[in-house]
C-alpha cells in the first residue's frame, strides 16, 4: 500500500507537474504570439521591402557603362569645320561599311589642310584629319559622302560588296583608266586622313591615340564595327597609307587600336 500510496502520491505529484508544465507552455505560446504580433505590427516596414528590391535592381545602372558616341566625341575635342563644297550626297547608317585610312603626304596643321581642300575646288576631302599633335578636325558630317577614295581597281566594287547607286554626285571626279574603273567606296565609307609624309617621319603617339579614339567614336556612332582598310587596298599603287603604318594597320584591323590596348 505504502508502495501504492507512494506511487499514488508520486502519480498525483506527476499530474501537478504536468499541469504546471501546461500552464508554462500556454504562457510561452502567448508570449510567442505577442512577440510575433509585435514583430509583424510595423506593417510600413514590410511595405518598404519592394523599395529595397528596387534599389537593389537599380544598383547595376550605377556601375560603369560603355561610353556613348557623344561622350567619346566630346573626349576627342573634335574641331568642326564643315565645308559644304566637300559634301557629295546622303550617306545614312545603312550605307556605312568601311573606315578608309589615308596619309596627307604633306605636313601641315589639320585646319590648314581642310582649308586647302576647300580652296582647291575639286571637292576632294576626307571626313576627318588627324594632326601630329592629336587634333582632330572634321569637315564633312558622318551622314554625308566625302570624296576621299576615288576610283578603285576594276572589280573592287564587287570584292568589297558595294555598288554605285547614284547617291554620290561624283562632282569633280576624273577617271584614272580602265584598270581602276570602280567608284563605289566613297558612298559606303568614312575617310580619315593622318598628317604624315611617307618616308619622312613617324606617326606620333598623340596622333595614334587620337585615331584610336576616333575609331571608337565611329564604332559607337553606328553601333557596329566597320571594316578598316587603307587607301591602297582600294586602289593598288596608291602611296597611302605609308609603309610605316603597316604594323598599326594590322593592329587596327584586329583590335581597333594601334597597339592592341583599349582606346
Ligand atoms: Zn588617300
pLDDT of 115-136, one tens digit each? 999 999 999 999 999 999 999 9
DSSP 96-120: --EEEEEE-SS-S-HHHHHHHHHHH
The predicted model scores a pTM of 0.76
**Computed from CA positions of residues 111, 69, 234, 169, in that sequence, does the dihedral angle turn out positive or negative?**
negative
Ligand 1 centre to CA of 223 (Å) is: 25
Q: How far is the CA of 189 from the centre of ligand 1 (A)?
A: 13
Ligand 1 centroid to Cα of residue 237, in Å, is: 11
pLDDT of res. 65: 78
* Distance in angstroms (rounded) separating the CA atoms of residues 29 and 35: 10
Q: pLDDT digit string (tens) for 137-181?
A: 999 999 999 999 999 999 999 999 999 999 999 999 999 999 999
Predicted confidence band of residue 25 (pLDDT cuts 50, 70, 90): low
| pLDDT class of 262 with cuts at 50, 70, 90 | confident
**How would you classify the pairing of strands 136-138 and 128-130?**
antiparallel
Mean pLDDT over each residue of the chain, to the nearest integer: 84
Give the E-state strand segments of the chain in sequence order. Answer: 79-80, 98-103, 128-130, 136-138, 189-194, 227-230
Q: How confident is the model at residue 49 (pLDDT cuts 50, 70, 90)?
A: very low
Rounded-to-integer distance, Cα 224 and Cα 216, Å:
10
Q: Is the pLDDT of residue 191 over 90?
A: yes
155 CA to middle of ligand 1, Å?
19
Task: Give the residue from 143, 146, 152, 150 showing the smallest Cα distance to 221.
Answer: 143
Cα gap 5→69, rounded to integer Å:
98
Query: Between helices 205-222 and 246-255, what is the axis angle to 10°?
Result: 30
52 pLDDT exceeds 90?
A: no
**Which band of pLDDT confidence, cut at 50, 70 and 90, is reported for residue 216?**
very high
At residue 245, does pLDDT exceed 70? yes
How many A from CA of 117 to the centre of ligand 1? 13
Eight-state DSSP code of residue 78: P
72 CA to middle of ligand 1, Å? 25
Q: Give the whole-angstrom CA distance, residue 25 versus residue 14.
A: 16
Query: Tell me, what's the pLDDT at 106?
Result: 97
| Ligand 1 mean position, distance from CA 122 (Å) | 15
Amino acid at each position: 500500500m505504502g508502495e501504492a500510496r507512494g506511487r499514488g502520491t508520486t502519480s498525483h505529484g506527476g499530474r501537478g507537474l504536468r499541469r504546471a508544465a501546461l500552464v508554462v507552455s500556454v504562457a510561452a505560446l502567448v508570449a510567442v504570439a505577442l512577440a510575433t504580433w509585435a514583430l509583424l505590427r510595423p506593417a510600413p516596414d514590410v511595405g518598404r521591402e519592394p523599395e529595397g528590391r528596387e534599389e537593389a535592381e537599380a544598383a547595376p545602372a550605377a556601375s560603369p557603362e560603355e561610353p556613348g558616341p557623344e561622350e567619346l566625341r566630346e573626349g576627342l575635342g573634335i574641331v568642326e569645320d564643315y565645308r559644304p563644297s566637300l559634301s557629295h550626297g546622303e550617306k545614312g547608317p545603312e550605307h556605312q561599311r568601311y573606315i578608309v585610312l589615308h596619309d596627307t603626304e604633306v605636313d601641315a596643321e589639320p585646319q590648314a589642310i581642310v582649308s586647302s581642300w576647300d580652296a582647291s575646288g575639286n571637292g576632294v576631302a576626307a571626313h576627318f584629319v588627324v594632326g601630329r599633335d592629336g587634333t582632330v578636325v572634321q569637315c564633312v558630317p558622318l551622314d554625308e559622302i566625302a570624296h576621299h577614295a576615288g576610283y578603285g581597281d576594276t572589280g573592287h566594287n564587287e570584292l568589297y560588296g558595294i555598288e554605285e547607286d547614284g547617291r554620290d554626285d561624283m562632282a569633280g571626279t576624273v577617271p584614272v583608266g580602265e584598270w581602276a574603273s570602280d567608284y563605289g567606296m566613297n558612298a559606303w565609307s568614312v575617310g580619315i586622313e593622318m598628317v604624315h609624309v611617307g618616308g619622312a617621319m613617324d606617326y606620333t603617339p598623340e596622333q595614334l591615340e587620337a585615331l584610336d579614339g576616333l575609331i571608337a567614336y565611329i564604332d559607337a556612332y553606328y553601333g557596329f564595327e566597320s571594316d578598316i582598310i587603307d587607301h591602297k587596298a582600294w586602289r593598288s599603287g596608291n602611296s597611302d597609307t605609308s609603309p610605316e603604318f603597316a604594323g598599326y594597320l594590322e593592329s587596327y584591323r584586329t583590335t581597333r587600336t594601334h597597339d592592341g590596348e583599349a582606346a
